[in-house]
């Protein structure tokens, strides 16, 4: 009986390591101005061989005691130095931005707001483990 447990444990360990190793998918940052979409994973951007690649989203809360402002933003720059920053005050997008993690895969879309800035129209994150770096 003990040999059976050891054998089953060994088989499960082998299959789980193969499954994890097969799902590692680092994704470099890309900024597509034809389709107004940026995507990439934050770990790959942090460890890129260039110093211009990054992607991330955040929320700023500014309160001066008289006025209060809450807005979200997403920004990206790819290896070719294509850069974009979009802003939002849409509550559903702010909730999505709040759910991000340090090693997320990020995708966001934008539209031109007509006054020189971009409005975020969609923000998505994946915090799944298969985007973690290979060891």
Number of domains in the chain: 1
pLDDT digits (tens, 9 = 90+) for 101-127: 777 889 999 999 888 889 999 999 886
Q: Is residue 119 part of a domain?
A: yes
pLDDT band for position 78 (50/70/90)?
Answer: very high
Q: Is residue 8 part of a domain?
A: no
For residue 2, pLDDT beyond 60 = no
Strands 54-63 and 68-77: antiparallel
CA distance 47 to 39: 16
Domain limits at 57?
Answer: 26-131
Q: Is residue 73 part of a domain?
A: yes
């Amino acid at each position: 009986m003990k040999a059976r447990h050891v054998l089953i444990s060994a088989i499960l360990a082998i299959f789980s390591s193969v499954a994890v190793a097969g799902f590692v998918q680092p994704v470099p940052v890309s900024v597509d101005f034809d389709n107004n979409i940026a995507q990439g994973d934050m770990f790959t951007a942090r460890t890129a061989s260039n110093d211009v690649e990054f992607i991330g989203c955040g929320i700023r809360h500014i309160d001066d005691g008289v006025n209060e402002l809450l807005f979200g933003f997403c920004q990206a720059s790819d290896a070719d130095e294509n850069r974009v920053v979009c802003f939002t005050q849409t509550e559903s997008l702010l909730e999505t931005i709040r759910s991000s993690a340090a090693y997320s895969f990020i995708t966001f879309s934008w539209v031109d707001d007509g006054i020189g800035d971009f409005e975020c129209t969609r923000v998505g994150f994946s915090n799944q483990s298969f985007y973690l770096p290979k060891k």
